[in-house]
Amino acid sequence: MSPLTYTDAVGGALERLRGVGFEHGPRFVNHAPMAAEALAYMGYADDVPRWVDRNLRTHTYHEVPDARWAIDPADPDDWRSALGDFSRVADWTALFERELAQAPWPEVLARWWPRLLPGMSGVLTHGVIRTAHAVRAISRAGEENLAYRWELAQGLGYWAARYASHTHGIRPGDEYPGTGEGDEYPRTGDGGGDTRTGSGEQGPRTGGGGDPRAGDGEQDPRTADADSAAAALDGLVAEYAGIYASAPQRHPVPLIHSITGPAAVRLVVEHLPAAQRRPSYLVARDVSASMLDWFSTTPVTTLPVGLSGVPDLGEVFATAVAIGDEHAIKLAEVAVRHQALAPDPRLAAAAHAANQGLARFRR
User: How confident is the model at residue 145, as a pLDDT?
Assistant: 83
User: How confident is the model at residue 323, as a pLDDT?
Assistant: 97
Q: pLDDT per residue over 103-120, tens digit each?
A: 999 999 999 999 999 999
User: How confident is the model at residue 264, as a pLDDT?
Assistant: 98
Between 113 and 227, the higher pLDDT residue: 113
**CA dist., res. 110 & res. 103, Å (int):** 11
**In the predicted structure, residue 217 carries a pLDDT above the cut 90:** no
**In the predicted structure, residue 208 carries a pLDDT above the cut 80:** no
Cα 180 to Cα 176, 177, 184, 279, 299: the distances in Å are 12, 9, 9, 12, 25
Query: Looking at residues 163-177, what average pLDDT do you find?
Result: 75
Instruction: Tell me the DSSP string of 16-73.
Output: HHTT--SEETTTEE--HHHHHHHHHHTT-GGGHHHHHHHHHHH--BPPPPPP-S---T
Residues 89, 158: contact at Cβ < 8 Å? yes
Task: Please give the share of the chain, as a percent, with pLDDT higher than 70.
Answer: 82
Q: Taking the model in full, what pTM does it have?
A: 0.87
Close Cβ partners of 205 (under 8 Å, ≥ 6 residues apart): 227, 228, 230, 231
User: How confident is the model at residue 299, as a pLDDT?
Assistant: 59
Query: Looking at residues 226-239, what average pLDDT do you find?
Result: 92
Q: Which of 113-127, 187-201, 232-246 is least confident?
A: 187-201
User: How confident is the model at residue 249, as a pLDDT?
Assistant: 85
Rg, Å, the chain Cα set: 20
Between 185 and 252, the higher pLDDT residue: 252
Between 143 and 21, the higher pLDDT residue: 21
Q: Which of 177-186, 302-311, 351-360 is least confident?
A: 177-186
Residues 144, 100: contact at Cβ < 8 Å? no
Q: pLDDT per residue over 4-22, tens digit each?
A: 999 999 999 999 999 999 9
User: How confident is the model at residue 209, as a pLDDT?
Assistant: 31
Q: pLDDT per residue over 313-361, tens digit each?
A: 999 999 999 999 999 999 999 999 999 999 999 999 999 999 999 998 7
Query: Looking at residues 144-161, what average pLDDT do you find?
Result: 95
CB neighbourhood size of 305 (10 A):
18
In the chain, domain spans: 6-161, 195-361
User: How confident is the model at residue 216, as a pLDDT?
Assistant: 41
Residues 117, 178: contact at Cβ < 8 Å? no
**CA dist., res. 9 & res. 107, Å (int):** 27
Query: Looking at residues 37-60, what average pLDDT do you find?
Result: 97
pLDDT level of residue 296 (50, 70, 90 thresholds): confident
